[in-house]
Chains A and B, each alone.
Chain A
Amino acid sequence: GQQLNQSPQSMFIQEGEDVSMNCTSSSIFNTWLWYKQDPGEGPVLLIALYKAGELTSNGRLTAQFGITRKDSFLNISASIPSDVGIYFCAGQSAGNNRKLIWGLGTSLAVNP
């Protein structure tokens, strides 16, 4: 099925560093979502974006809905060990029965 291009695939950083990851699509989306999955658990919604250009923060996390509506970015500032996990982007278009299209995830490891 259709998938989003999410990058990077994995990251290994030092505690305290900032992190950036992004998702791109060939289709226009009306909604962009960012989820985090901890080991052995299901994905948990972090941030939802509904307007092109929108910038939304959730604590140390900030996400943006790209102007072209074909991309989105997630930034994590001052990373801490509990940020470890897999971060997924998901997009929703007006068509396609409003089903979410998922990226393959960015695996984040934080070295204390």
Chain B
Amino acid sequence: DARVTQTPRHKVTEMGQEVTMRCQPILGHNTVFWYRQTMMQGLELLAYFRNRAPLDDSGMPKDRFSAEMPDATLATLKIQPSEPRDSAVYFCASGTGLAGMETQYFGPGTRLLVL
């Protein structure tokens, strides 16, 4: 049963610390998305990649957030330095080809709390 995996599942850190979240997309999927979910804003698209190339990161605060795909099996989202307002659930999702924009398969999320 192919699934998107994310690590860590939970992260508690102090303001100013670096946070790195990792995602392993479903094997064969060429599109990877990073979302942030909060009660107030719902699901916000932060960035997405196709064939490991960043296509759109306009939803991401550029000064502290960065997203990369070192290889086809790993996507990372980093926050440096972290702030309390970054507390949220961060989801990674993957999909395939043009249809990947619709049929996105989500991971279980990383629950981040910045104190």
Does A42 lie within 8 Å of B107, measured CB to CB?
yes
Contact B56 A1 (CB under 8 A): no
On whether the beta carbons of B56 and A99 are closer than 8 Å, the reply is yes
Chain B residues packing against A (C-beta within 8 Å)? 4, 42-45, 48, 55-56, 59, 91, 93, 98, 101-109
| A31 part of interface (Cβ distance < 8 Å) | yes
B102 lies within 8 A of A40 (CB): no
Q: Which residues of A contact B (CB under 8 A)?
A: 1, 3, 31, 33, 40-45, 48, 88, 92, 97-100, 102-105
Q: Once bound together, how far apart are the Cα atoms of A68 and B48, in whole Å?
A: 29
- Which chain A positions have C-beta within 8 A of B59? 1
Of the residues B55, B98, B106, contact of A42 by C-beta under 8 Å = B106
- Complex formed: what's the CA distance from A20 to B29 in Å? 33
Name which residue of chain A comes closest to B107, CB basis: A42
**Complex Cα spacing A97 to B107, Å:** 23
Give the residues in chain A near B101, CB-CB below 8 Å: 92, 98-100
